[in-house]
Amino acid sequence: MPDGFLGTRADLLLDLVILSLLLVVPVLLYSWSRVRRGNYGVHKALQLAVFVVLGSAVLAFELHMRQLGGIFEATKESTYAGTAVLNGWIYVHTAFSVSMALVWIIVVAGALYFFPNPPRPIKGSRAHRWMGRLGMLLALGAGVTAIPVYAYGFAY
């Protein structure tokens, strides 16, 4: 894998994944603002795009991590390798990421199955709204915790 472009020990794929996580946050907030204004079609299109892009990035990341021998092997050159600081951030980020993935799969599958096309509020909208907010908070947590994992794992 070619070297990354952010000036750390991370390779190109890791740099792309960290940027994709950071770009997701403003897109999620914009999508949320659209649905609050009744623009359900825009919300659906943005959410599906984020789901596909982020899902692809995460899948590529996970496969790449397996090739590298896991996150702890990939970060072994860090001055924080094996410390509670890096390991703690890795575990917290993993908890957010796995939870986010599960919630998003449920929300997207449920929305595609239950909501009409074009989308509009239905009887199950309240549950979708609650799960969507949970998914957005988990995505924000995953995005925010990715920064210290990347910094402590690959920049120091």
pLDDT-based confidence at residue 58 (cuts at 50, 70, 90): confident
Residue 73 has pLDDT above 80, yes or no: yes
- Give me the residue label for tokens 């509020």: 121
Considering the entire predicted model, what is its pTM?
0.86
| pLDDT on residue 113 | 95
DSSP SS3 for 84: helix
Q: Is residue 5 situated within a structural domain?
A: no
Tell me the residue length of the chain: 156
β partners of residue 129: none
Provide the domain limits for residue 82: 12-155
- Domains: count for the chain: 1
pLDDT-based confidence at residue 28 (cuts at 50, 70, 90): confident
Residue 21 has pLDDT above 80, yes or no: no
| pLDDT on residue 156 | 92
Residue 102 has pLDDT above 90, yes or no: yes
